[in-house]
Amino acid sequence: MPKRTDIKSVLIIGAGPIIIGQACEFDYSGAQACKALKAEGFRVILVNSNPATIMTDPLLADATYIEPIHWKSIEKIIDKERPNALLPTMGGQTGLNTALTLAKEGVLKKYNVELIGASREAIDKAEDRELFDKTMKGIGIETPRSGIAHSMEEALSVQESLGFPCIIRPSFTLGGSGGGVAYNIQEFKEICEKGLDLSPTTELLIDESLLGWKEYELEVVRDKNDNCIIICSIENLDPMGVHTGDSITVAPAQTLTDKEYQILRDQSFKILREIGVETGGSNVQFGINPENGRVVVIEMNPRVSRSSALASKATGFPIAKVAALLSVGFTLDELQNDITNGLTPASFEPSIDYIVTKIPKFAFEKFPQANDRLTTQMKSVGEVMGIGRTFQESLQKALQSLEEDLNGFESILDDTSNQNETLRYQLTFPGSRRILYVGDAIRLGWNADQLNQLTGIDFWFLQQIIDLVDEENILQDMKLQEIDFHKMLNLKQKGFADHRIAKLTKSTAQDVRDLRKELGVMPSFKRVDTCAAEFATETAYMYSTYEGECESRPTNNKKVIVLGSGPNRIGQGIEFDYCCVHASFALQEEGYESIMINCNPETVSTDYDTSNRLYFEPITEEKVLDIIDLERPQGVIIQFGGQTPLKLSETLLSNNVTILGTDVDAIDRSEDRERFQSLAHQLNLKQPPNSTVKNLGEALQMSEEIGFPIVVRPSYVLGGRAMELVHTQVELEKYLKEAVEVSDQKPILLDGYLTDAIEVDVDVISDGSDIEIGGILQHIEQAGIHSGDSACSLPPYSLSKKVIQEIESQAKKIAKELNVVGLMNIQFAVQDEDVFIIEVNPRASRTVPFISKCIGESLVKSATKTMVGKTLKDIGFSNELPMNYFFVKEAVLPFDKFPAVDPILGPEMKSTGEVMGIGSSFGEAYAKAQRAANKVFPESGLAFISVKESDKKYLPNLLPMLVEHGFSLIATKGTAHSIKALGYDAQIINKVTEGRPHIVDELLNNRVNLLINTTEGRQSIEDSASIRRTALQNKLFCVTTIFGAFALLEAMSTNSDNWIYNSLQEIN
Amino acid sequence: MSFPAILVLEDGSVIEGVGFGAKEKAVGEIVFNTSMSGYQEIITDPSYAKQIIAFTHPHIGNTGINDEDNESDGIFASGIVIKDLPSHFSNWRATQSLENFLESKKTIGISNIDTRALTAKLRDHGSIKACISPNNADSLLKANEALDQFDGLEGLDLAKEVSTKESFSWEEGTWPNYAQTKNEKLIVAVDFGVKKNILRLLRKHVGKVKVVNAQISFEELMQLKPDGVFLSNGPGDPEPCNYAIELIQQLLSINMPIFGICLGHQLLALSGGCKTYKMKFGHHGANHPVQDLASKVVYITSQNHGFAVDLSSLPKNIEPTHVSLFDQSLQGIAFKDKPAFSFQGHPEASPGPHELEELFTKFNSMIENNAKKN
C-alpha cells in the first residue's frame, strides 16, 4: 500500500543547537526528511531553533519556524498550523523528548496530531531503561546484569550486587550525559549524584562492567509490512567503556563470523518488533564477550541517530529519507534505491567493498580543567570518516582528516618522560589519542598480547596497526629514491600519506609526489554504490584508493570544486557546512558542475545528492591536488570552509590552481599584523593600540604604552585559542610564563582592551565593484568576549544611526581596498561613538547563515555567483531586513559536559552551537533565544549581585529594574555596600573565601534564583569559579556580563504568552 | 606461505597477485559473491564445485576457520580470489587460519586483486572461465591450456560427482545449541551437494534425516518409508540430471511431500515441465530481496545460483510463490495439485539472513497435513 492519504501535513521537529552528542547529523537527517516528504506532496512544517542548518532554509519546508524547541512554543505552532502528524524521529534525543512532552501535556490529543515514525509507547519502551530491560527479558534477549535506582540509597544497594567497576547511566539524557564508570565507592557516589540530578526522571541504570567487551551497532530499518533490513553493521575499535560517539568505529564489522553476526541481526529485528518501531530507522547496540561470545544488548534508539548518519555515508543508503517515507505509509519495496538509479528497491541490504573508519574529534584544549579521559559520557565535538579499500587505508585517511597535523601514526610520546608508565596509563585509561599511543607502544616493542590486555582492542585491529608501524620502521631506513613502483604502490595501498613517507625518508611531500608521478602510482577513484559493483551505477559519491580501475570518468563540463570544512570543532562547525552546501547549489544554478571535497560524515555537504560530484576525502594538500589533477576544474572555492581550505591556499597557488573570489593575498593582508596595521593607516581607520612582542621585556615595555587592560594572544591562532585579558603587569608576566611560549618565531600580540565597548560583526558581500552590507550584528556581551560566544542582535538594538553609517562606510572601504569578491567579515568595537576596527576576515564567517535567514537571501549563494562572474545587480541582491522584527543569536555552551570547567565567557571561544530567537522587540527575541538555548530565566525571586569594579557604574540603572521585576537582592560585602549606597536593600553573604555560610551554600540550598556575576582578573575569576560552577550544576540562571544582565531584564519584560510565531516564509 | 600467482581469464587478461593456500593450479567458472561475512561457509558449500569465487568484501580471513561452520567436509570451490588476506585472524572460536585450511584442502587462493574491477567485468560480460595458478615459467601457457580444456558449467552434471556415495543419518541441529525436533517422521534428503545447515535445519524443524545418493532409485528410496523427501542444493546445470527428474516425477505421482532448495528447486521445476536457463552472472550474495507474492513481504535472502527456472515456462498446475526484486527472476514455486514446493535461494542461510527458516517449518506442516489427508 502506498503513502497515506489521510495525512496532509507533517510537523518535523529538528534537533536544535549543535551540542556535544547532537551535531549536524540531524541537519542531514532532517533535511532529507523535509525534502522527501515535500516531494511526496505533504505540507511540511518544520521547527528548529538552529539557524545554521540547511533544513531551516525556507525552500526545504512549507513553513519553517526558527523557534525554541520547547513544548510550549511548539504548541503555539501546532495551534496555528494544525498539522495532521508529528514526525519526532529526525531531531535526535531533543526531537523525541519534546514529542513525548507534547504527548504528556495533552497537546497532541488536543489538536489531534498523530505521532508517526515512533509511537509514544515505543519511545518509552526504548528510552526508559527499566522498561527496556524488562522488555528485553520478556523476549529472551540478554541485557547486562543491572539495577535501576531512583535515589542514592537504591544506587548503593544495586552497586553491592554488581561489584566494581560498574557503569552508571542516567535515563533520558543526551549523549549519555552524566554517566560514567566507577572503580570505587567515592567515584560511584559522585557520578550517581550528578546523574540523578541530570536525569529528567531522576533515574539511573547501573550496569555490570562490560569494560573490554567488543561493541557493535546495527542500523535497522523496518516498514509497516514488517519488512526489516540492516543497513550497516558497525564495529567499535575501542571496546566497551568508551561511548560509541567517542570511539573509533569501523564498518562493516570485521571480527565476527557470519553465525555470530546473524545472531545480532536476528536480535535487532526481534527488538524492533517488540519495542514497536513500525516505520523507520533505529540502531541497536550490542556488547560481546571476546572470551566466549556472550551477547548482551546495550541499548536501542527508535530514531535516526549519529550512527545512522554514519551508516548512510558508509554505505550510500539514505536512511533518513527512507525512514521519513516509511513513516507516511510507504513500504520498502515501493521505494527505489536512488544510488542504483532505481534499478533495485530500497528493500535490500547494502553490501560494501571497502572499509570505513570513523574517528571522533575532541576539544579538550579548550577546557584544560576538564577530565580528558574517555568514558561512557560523550565528549567529542565532531568526527571524520576515512574510506579505503582496506582497513589500514581507511584508518590512515581518517587520521589525516582530523586536521591535527597527523599524517598517519605520528609519534606523540615524549622521549624524556617515563615512557612505559605514560604508555601504560594512556593505554589503560583512554584519552583522545589512544590510537597514537598504541603506535608508540609498538615502536617500543610492546606486543599484541600486552596491547590487547591494556586496551581491549581486538587482536585483528592491533595486528593491522603493528603492520603499519613495522612498515614505517622499514621505511625509516630507506631513502626515498630506493622506493620502487611496487613498494610505493604497497605503501599507498596501506594509506600512507605523501607527507608521512616524506617524513620517514627525510624528504619532502613534493619529492614523494614527484616520485609517485614518475613511477606512475596515482590514485584511482571508486564509487560508493551500496551494492559492491553488482549493478552499474552513476552515483556521484567517490573515494580514492590505489588499485586498478579508476571509475571517476570526469566530464568536460564547466566545473568548480568547493573545499569543505572538515570535522566539526569549536570555532568551526555547521555554519561552514551550510556555506559549502549553498555554494554547491549556487554553482549548479549557474550551470557549473559542483564538486565537493569533504570528510565529515555528519554533514549535508557529504550527502550523495548535494553536489554533482562528491569526493569523500581528507582535505589535505595531497588529496585535493590529486582530485584537481583528475578533474581539471575552472576553479576552486576556499572561502566557505572556514580555516580548513584556507590552509591550502598557498599550495593551490603554487600549483597554478585558480582560486575563485577574493585574492589570497587579501587574507595575508588582514592576518599579518604589520600589513593590517598599514592597511588601517592607509584607510584612516582606528585600531585599538596594539603591538607585537617577542619576549617578556618587550611585552612589559609595550604594555605601558598601550595601557591596561590588554588582550594578549599568540599570533595566528584560531577561535581565540589561549587568548586572555590581563589587567596588570603581574598578570601579563604570569601569562607569558605559564600560558604560552613567546619567542622570535612565536610572537605574542598585545591589544589595548576597549573597556565597555560594544562589539559589532559585519558581513559584507562584493562582486569586485559593487559592495553591499549583508548585515550588522550588535553583540550583547561587551568586547572581550569571543564573538562566537556572544549573543547578538540584528538589527543593532542600541547603536546610533551615525555609528551604523560609519560602520557601513568603513566596511565598504575595506572591502574595496582588499578587492573582495565574495564574502568578508569584519569585527568592530564601538566605544562611545568611536568605531574601532578589530579584525577582518575576507571569507565567509560564522554569522553568514544567521544573517541569511534574517534577510531571506542566501549570502553564500550570491557570493558564489559573484565568484563565477555575476554582478550583484545581475543577481538582484537585496539585504533588506523585514520590518518590525528583531533577530537574536545566542551561543550554546558545553559546560554541562565538563563539570570541572569554569563556565565563564571570555576571549576564547567555547560554544558548540547557536540558536536564533525571533521577536517583535529585542526583548522578545532575546527571551526566545534564551528559551531556545534551554536557559530558563526566573521571573522574580532572590538575585545575587557581584559585579567587578568597572561595572559598578551600571548599578544605578540595573538595580531599579531588578527591584521592579520583584527581585530582592543578595550580595557580597563590597557590592552590597555599593547597593546600599544607592538606597537599595541587600542581604550580605560571605564570599567563598570569607567563611561559611557563603554564597555557594546559598546556591546549594536553592535560595538564589538569579546570579549576576561579572568579574575580571585571573585571581578573582579563580576565586569566584565555584559560584558559577554551582549555579550551572543547579541550573540557576547566571549572567557573567553586565550587558547580558540588561538584555535579560528586557527579556523578562515580555510575556511569553504573547510571543509571536511567524514562519520564515511569512517573515520574508 | 604466500607465493607469486596469476589469475588468467578467458578473455585473455592476466592479473598478477599473491597466491596462498595450496600451490596448485585451479580452473573453473569465476563468479563474484557480495556477502560480507561467511567465507568459511561459502568455500565449503558443495554448490561451488568447479567455480572460482571472487569475494567483493576486501578482507577475507579475519576470523580464521572454526570447527562449527563448515558446510561440508571439504572445499568444493576450485579456488578463491580476494583483495586482502589479513596476516592474522582473530575470533574466540577460530582454530586455524584460512590459509592453512586452504592448504590442507589442496585449494589455491589469490589475493591483492582488484576484485571490484573484476566484479564489474563479470557484471558486464557475464560469468567467464578463469584459472588461478602459481606464477612460474610456463604457468601462463598451462593456464591457457587448462582454460581450453574446461568447457564451463552448461550441460555439466556435477551433482552426481559431489553426492554422497553411502547413505547416512544426520543427527546434529543448528549452532549454537544444536536443538532437535522430537518429531519421529523421516525425511530422506537426496544429496546433490547438500549443505550441512540444511540437514541441521531439517533435523531441528522436521524430523529424522537420512541422506542418500543423488542416483538412488525410486524403489530404494521408498524402502526407507520416508514421510517427505528433500531435494538438496548442488552445483552445475540441472538439465542433464535425468535420473533425478525421473525420480522426482515418480515421487510426485504418489503425492510424496517434497521440498527443494536451489538445484533441488530447479529439478522439481524441470520435473513439473518447466524450463531452466543459465543466467548472465547469477546470484551470489546474502543481501538479495525476494518477495513472497502472496503476502508481499520482502525477505532478505542468501543466494547462490547460476541457473534459474524460466518464469514464463510454468505450467498451469505450478504457481510462482517468490520473485527476486533485483531482477524479477523466479525464486519459488508450489504445485497447486501436489504437496511440493521449492525455493531458489538459500533459506538455510549459512551464510546469510535467517528469515526464511520458516520454509522448513512450512515443509513440516505440509507433511503433517498430507498425512492427515491420507
A222 to chain B: which residues are within 8 Å by CB? none
Residue A740 reports pLDDT greater than 80: no
- Pick the residue from chain B with its C-alpha nearest to A351: B34
Specify which residues A1012 forms β-bridges with. Answer: A945, A1039
Q: Note if the bond before A345 is cis, omega within 30 degrees.
A: no
Q: Cell numbers at residue A364, please? A: 579538550
pLDDT value at residue A176? 63
Least confident among A25-34, A333-342, B70-79, B121-130? A333-342
Query: Among residues A572, A622, A569, which one has the least CA distance to residue A597?
Result: A622
The tens digit of pLDDT for each residue in A8-18 reads: 999 999 999 99
Chain A contacts in chain B segment 138-197 (CB below 8 A): 175-176
Element (H, E) at B328: none
Q: Measured between alpha carbons, how far is A574 from A31 in angstroms, rounded to an integer?
A: 13
Peptide bond connecting B257 to the previous residue in cis, omega within 30 degrees of 0: no
Report, as an integer, the average pLDDT of A696-702. Answer: 91
A258–B35 C-beta distance less than 8 A: yes
Q: In B, which residues are within 8 Å of A356 by CB distance?
A: none
Measured in residues, chain A has a length of: 1068
Q: For an interface test with B, which of A534, A538, A551, A553 has the most B Cβ atoms less than 10 Å from its Cβ? A: A534
In Å, how far is B279's CA from the nearest CA of chain A?
14
pLDDT at residue A717 above 80?
no
* DSSP symbol at A735: I
Mean pLDDT in residue range A804-813: 97
Assign A718 a pLDDT band (cuts: 50, 70, 90): low
Grid cell, residue A594, equals: 559542483
The yes-or-no verdict on residue A54 having pLDDT over 90 is yes
Query: Nearest residue on chain A to B299, judged by CA atoms?
Result: A227
| Spatial CB neighbours of A584, under 8 Å, sequence gap ≥ 6 | A562, A594, A596, A605, A610, A611
Query: Please, how many CA atoms are within 13 Å of residue A1007, restricted to the half-sphere of its CB?
Result: 15
Residue-by-residue DSSP string for A1018-1049: HHHHHHHHHHHHHHHHTT-EEE-SHHHHHHHH
Is the pLDDT reported for residue A674 higher than 90?
Answer: no
Q: Is A720 a residue whose pLDDT tops 80?
A: no
d(Cα A950, Cα A945) in Å, to the nearest integer?
14
C-alpha cell at B13: 587478461
Q: Which is nearest to A504 in space by CA: A467, A470, A479?
A: A479
Find residue A526's DSSP bridge partners.
A543
Would strands A821-831 and A771-782 be described as parallel, antiparallel, or unpaired? unpaired
Q: Which of B88, B123, B300 sits opposite A463 (nearest CB)?
A: B88
Predicted confidence band of residue B8 (pLDDT cuts 50, 70, 90)? very high
Question: How far, CA to CA in Å, does B95 sit from each of A462, A539, B67, B90?
Answer: 19, 41, 7, 10
ipTM for the predicted complex: 0.97
For residue B49, give how far its alpha carbon lies from the nearest alpha carbon of chain A (Å): 21
- What cell does A66 get? 526558527
- To the nearest whole Å, the CA of B105 is away from the closest chain A CA by 20
Q: Identify the weakest region by mean pLDDT among A106-110, A127-131, A891-895, B10-14.
A: A127-131
CA B139 → CA A735, B20, B53, B108, B132, distances in Å?
73, 16, 20, 14, 9
DSSP string, A40-52: TTPEEEEE-S-TT
- Range with the poorest average pLDDT among A156-165, A621-630, B109-118: A156-165
Distance CA A787, CA A790 (A): 5
Spell out a b/e string for B13-24, using b for 16 or more CB atoms within 10 Å of the CB, else e. Answer: eebebbbbbbee
C-alpha A532, offset from chain centre = 32
Q: How many residues does chain B have?
A: 374
CA distance B315 to chain A (A): 28
Residue B310 neighbours by CB under 8 Å, 6+ apart: B274, B275, B276, B277, B330
Question: Taking the CA atoms of chain A, what radius of gyration do you get in angstroms?
Answer: 28
A390 to chain B: closest CA residue: B58
Query: How much is the average pLDDT of B246-267?
Result: 98
User: CB of B4 within 8 Å of any CB in chain A?
Assistant: no
Q: Over pLDDT 70: what percentage of chain A?
A: 99
- The whole-number pLDDT of residue A344 equals 85
Residues of A with CB below 8 A from B353's CB?
262, 265, 349
Percentage of chain B lying above the pLDDT 70 cut: 100
Q: How far apart are CA A227 and CA B207, in angstroms?
A: 30
Test B92 with A229 for CB contact under 8 angstroms: no
Q: Which residues of B touch A354 (CB under 8 A)?
A: 58
Whether omega for the bond prior to residue B353 falls within 30 degrees of 0, making it cis, is: no
Residue indicated by cell numbers 605559564: A738
Q: Measured between beta carbons, which residues in chain A are less than 8 angstroms from residue B291?
A: 333
Q: Which residues of B are catalytic?
A: 262, 346, 348
Task: Give the span between the Cα atoms of A306 and A380, in whole angstroms.
Answer: 12
Q: Which of A781, A839, A759, A772 is nearest to A809 (CA)?
A: A772
* 3-class DSSP state of A808: helix
Looking at residue A723, what is its pLDDT?
82
Residue with cell 564538486: A595
- Does the distance separating the beta carbons of B298 and A258 come in below 8 Å? no
> Please, what is the end-to-end C-alpha distance for chain A in angstroms?
39
Count of CB atoms within 10 A of residue B182's CB? 5
Predicted local confidence at residue B282, as pLDDT: 95
Q: Grid coordinates representing A78? A: 501546532
Residues in contact with A821: Cβ distance below 8 Å, sequence separation at least 6, in sequence order: A660, A661, A662, A766, A767, A768, A866, A867
Neighboring chain A residues of B120 at a CB cutoff of 8 Å: 533, 536, 549
What is the spatial distance between Cα B223 and Cα A205, in angstroms, rounded to a whole number? Answer: 62
Across chain B, the runs of DSSP E, i.e. the strands, are 3-9, 14-21, 26-33, 51-55, 65-66, 79-81, 94-96, 108-111, 128-134, 168-170, 186-191, 208-213, 228-231, 258-261, 276-292, 298-309, 318-324, 330-335, 340-343
Report, as an integer, the average pLDDT of A22-30. Answer: 95
The verdict on whether omega for the bond into residue A997 sits within 30 degrees of 0, i.e. cis, is yes
Q: Is there a contact between A771 and A708 (Cβ–Cβ < 8 Å)?
A: no
Cα–Cα distance measured from residue A191 to residue A168, given in angstroms and rounded to the nearest whole number: 7
Residue A58 pLDDT exceeds 90:
yes
Instruction: List, as ranges, residues 199-258 from B with C-beta within 8 Å of A.
Output: none
Confidence of residue A1 (pLDDT cuts 50, 70, 90): low
Closest residue in B to A536 (Cα) is B120
Q: Count A/B contacts: CB-CB distance under 8 Å.
A: 167
Chain A: nearest CA to B278, how far in angstroms? 18
Task: Give the SS3 label for residue A167.
Answer: strand
The verdict on a CB contact (< 8 Å) between A256 and B63 is yes
What DSSP string describes A494-529? TT--HHHHHHHTTS-HHHHHHHHHHHT---EEEE--
Mean pLDDT of A241-270: 97
What's the CA gap between A32 and B50, in Å, rounded? 47
CA distance A1061 to A429: 49
Shortest CA distance to A230 belongs to which of B360, B36, B59? B36
Residue A284 is classified by DSSP as: E
CA distances in angstroms from B69 to A257, B41, B202, listed in the order given: 9, 6, 17
**Calpha distance A835→A825 (Å, rounded):** 16
Is residue A288 over pLDDT 80?
A: yes
Q: What are phi and psi of B202, to 5 degrees?
A: -65, -40
**CA-derived radius of gyration, chain B:** 20
- Helix ranges (H only) for A911-953 are 922-932
**Summary mean pLDDT of chain A:** 94
Its pTM stands at 0.95
Q: Do B34 and A390 touch (CB under 8 A)?
A: no
Mean pLDDT taken over chain B: 96
In sequence order, what DSSP letters do the residues of A342-384 get, joined into one string?
TSSBS-S--B-SSEEEEEEE--GGG-TTS--S--SS----EEE
